[in-house]
Structure 1
Amino acid sequence: MKVGVISRRSSFWTTKKILRSIEHHGHEPSFVKTDDVRLLVAGDDDAIYRGKSLRDHGVLIPRIGRSMTDFGKMLLRQLEMMGLRLTLQSEALATARNKFIATQVLREAGVPVPRSVLLGSRPDFMETAQLVPYPAVLKILSGTQGVGVMRVNDLDETAAIVDTLKFLGQTVLLQEYIPNPGIDIRALVVGDHVIGSMKRIAPANEWRANVHLGAKGVPVELDQATQAIAVRASKAVGLEISGVDLIFRGDEPVILEVNVSPGFRGLMQATGVNAADAMVEYAIQKAKA
């Protein structure tokens, strides 16, 4: 069976790992460069890559990067129209890539999330006092890997940043800051299971615990209740494969973000879990269903 990986570059570490895993599982690996796929809506709807239809793939594993979100939504919608099996759906991509919409659907599903407010303009003092206590966290809706996430200590900081981001065309999400010593947890969800989890510890003088910002990953075992919340969060957003970021408020897990097309190099190094194999096995099982 031909199993494809849709990605911007075949040289990406995660892409290479997944392609190798497909081969190790006895299937034909196929790399599909995201922005080189031609979408045809006329007569027989099709998606053409290097002169050939993608219809010959048994299943496709999309890895849609942040910069390719808009094109990726249209590409996935086209593949859905064609009836192809995918491990990522267009609606789930759209939801996951907007932090506020994702927070809304998590809240609707009863998943614990931080108190959150969408700001289209600068708040005044009385508003802010009623919305979220300081210190607080400001996020742009489409940030990734810790970029576009800022901790603010008062209204003056908030107003200055909101004004600047509004000038740049950004809507801002204001969230409560849940005190922590620069530590959060990443749980990798594949289908109905958390296949691995790690505690991410931020470097000195940094409060954001992102591996891309230098955080160190160490293995952590989540209890069944926390794993169930991570899986529920992933499903609420509509994702089949996701990286769920969470933090504890006392004994209660709170979901910070649900990430689409998650990287897994740090998790693999920290835990030894072969996430590529888990993703490929899930995709193959879906193709055979």
Structure 2
Amino acid sequence: MAGTPTDTTARQRAADAQVTDRAEATADGHGVRVGVLSTHNSKETKAILNAVRALGHDPVWLRDENVASRIEDGTVHRTPAVDVLVNRLLLTKSDSLLEDLELAALYEDGTPTLNATAAVTDALHKFRAGAKLAAAGLPIPDAYFGRSPQTFDAWTDHLEDAAHKQTVGTNGRQMAIVSPDEAVGPTIGGEQSFVQALLDESRDRPSDLRVYVVDGEVVAAMRRYAPDGDWRTNVALGGDVEDATDDLGAEPRRLAVEAADVLDLDVAGVDLMLDGGEWYVLEVNVTAGFKGLFEATGVSVAPYIAQLAIEQGGGRVDPDAVADLASTLDDSVPDCKPTADESNGGGDDVLGYTTRVAVSGCDGAAEAVAKSDSGARRTSVDAELAGRVGAGPLVGTTSVRSGSARGTETRPLVDLDVRVSGEWRTVTASVADRTDMTYPVLLGRDLLESYKLDISRTVEE
């Protein structure tokens, strides 16, 4: 059916905007400009950007520091302009989910996108994703969802032991096994939840399969084992992994590919489990990490994602080059990373032995002097300072070697915003009593990896 004049005008403007953006994007480049939308510093994001460069094209890291858009004379312009977009937003950890989704959608208008916003929205909500997969005939564990205590209580009429999960969440945090005789509410940590039938693979140690699918093809697969004393198989929680690519049977391979297809995902990590001789789809992850997959299989997914993006952007890639790149995981900081001075004019990528920082939480912000420690894996904050700014939410615990005695101590982990060199970053920091230490904040490698370190630099208290 032909569109109305208004519809035609709107489509023409969208097409003009696309042409304008493409022209601006390729004016100073020699290949396809592949934009990776990612406001975090994950190894996977860096690896994809480096793979684009290694394949002879132009990576563009889209972050808060460099993203902007304007509407001028009815035409939408996006900066930086790109030929194709890879959506790697960690939406399950976002504090502004709608804003981040709309940012992806803004860039998606007129630009080919890997993992389009509509598909991500469906897959992000685990119960909604399960409902779509079940409607398509894929085997899904029985599950129950309700938004009030009254409706949620009825889950015991339908399930026995179950896994209690957040509808939107990641890394298995705050999940629990629940029984019908327990009081279970419709939320976990203030977020909506659901219950899913607990499957039993009949192994001595709980495990499942993570199958990575790119463009309808299985790239690699691994078996994930739960840590000792736990039932959750998430690599982020300390589980072990082993290569399962060659042993992956036809049925789990088919299910993984079909699950990604049903949810219209170009890139997906599909979790499967065997129960009673039948395979089930547990979850489909839109920004699944692949560091653990590389450790298990020796295969990096990054060049396959880069290849798909380049081809969707109109470029060509040598398949042999992709296969060669897949044997390494280059997660070094790419040269295309925008710096803080692109947005505020005062950024510095060199940190000293001590650096003045600000920390922010739910109850406010405070300045402090932080010590840089490249030997520490994660950033740490003094308990009094964390309480004063309202750091959080609490996202778990970690075991740390005690410096004064043998053994370890357990410390809480909280999400904390830290302003370093004029740039705000979010880290998962450990909370410790640092009253006997000179500096209330210790910057670990989770922050230092983005900067150069000059221990001759110091600041006064």
Report the TM-score when normalising by structure 2. 0.56
Cα deviation for residue 40 of structure 1 reads: 4.0
Aligned-pair distance for 1:34?
A: 5.0
- CA 114–28 in structure 1, closer or farther in 2 if over 3 Å, else same: same
Alignment of 1:219 with 2:243, yes or no, is yes
Superposed displacement of residue 215, structure 1: 0.6
CA–CA distance in 1 between the matches of 2:216 and 2:277? 23
The whole-number CA distance in structure 1 between the counterparts of 2:291 and 2:311 is 23
Inter-partner Cα distance in structure 1 for 2:108 and 2:225: 39
1:127 matched to 2:154: yes
Q: Counterparts of 1:242 and 1:201 in 2: how far apart (Å)?
A: 20
Amino acid at match of 1:184: D
Deviations 1:192-223 (A, max 9, x none): 11110000011110100000000111011311
Counterpart for residue 261 of structure 1: 287
Q: Cα offset for 1:169?
A: 4.3
SS at match of 1:155: coil
1:177 corresponds to: 198
Structure 1 counterpart of 2:143, which letter?
A: S
Unmatched tracts of structure 1, length 5 or more: none
Q: Which moved more, 1:216-225 or 1:199-208?
A: 216-225
The answer (yes or no) to whether the contact 1:34–1:64 under 8 Å persists in 2 is no
Q: Percent identity among equivalent residues? A: 30
Task: Indicate how the Cα distance of structure 1 residues 71 and 127 shifts in structure 2: closer, same or farther if over 3 A, else same.
Answer: closer
Are 2:226 and 1:205 aligned? no
Single out whichever of 70-79 and 257-266 deviates more from structure 2. 70-79
Aligned ranges 1:95-106 → 2 under 5 Å: 95-106=122-133
Equivalent pair of 2:153/2:185 in contact (CA under 8 Å): no
SS of residue paired to 1:29: strand
Q: In angstroms, what is the RMSD of aligned CA positions?
A: 2.2
Q: What does residue range 106-117 of structure 1 map to in structure 2 within 5 Å?
A: 106-117=133-144
Deviates more, 1:71-80 or 1:112-121: 71-80
Relative to total residues, which structure has the larger helix share, 1 or 2? 1
Equivalent residues of 2:85, 2:108 under 8 A apart: no
Give the counterpart of 1:89 among 105, 109, 116: 116
Contact 1:35–1:71, Cα closer than 8 Å, also in 2: no
1:152 aligns with 2:174: no
Q: In 2 relative to 1, CA 67–129 (structure 1 residues): closer, same or farther, beyond 3 Å?
A: closer
Aligned counterpart, 2:267:
241
Query: Is contact 1:3-1:27 (8 Å) kept?
Result: yes
TM-score, structure 1 as length reference: 0.88
1:278 maps to amino acid: Y
Cα separation, 1, equivalents of 2:250 and 2:222: 15
**CA deviation after TM superposition for structure 1 residue 128, in Å:** 4.0
Between structure 1 and structure 2, the one with the greater Rg is 2
| Counterparts in 2 of 1:40 and 1:93: CA distance versus 1, 3 Å | farther
Question: Match for 1:87: what amino acid?
Answer: L
Contact 1:6 1:34 in 2 (8 A): no
Structure with more contact order per residue of length (Cα contacts < 8 Å, sep ≥ 6): 1
State how far apart, in whole Å, the 1-side matches of 2:146 and 2:65 are.
33
Bigger CA drift: 87-96 or 57-66? 57-66
Letter in 2 for 1:61: V
Aligned match of 2:411: none
Offset at residue 39 of structure 1 (A): 4.3
How many matched pairs? 275
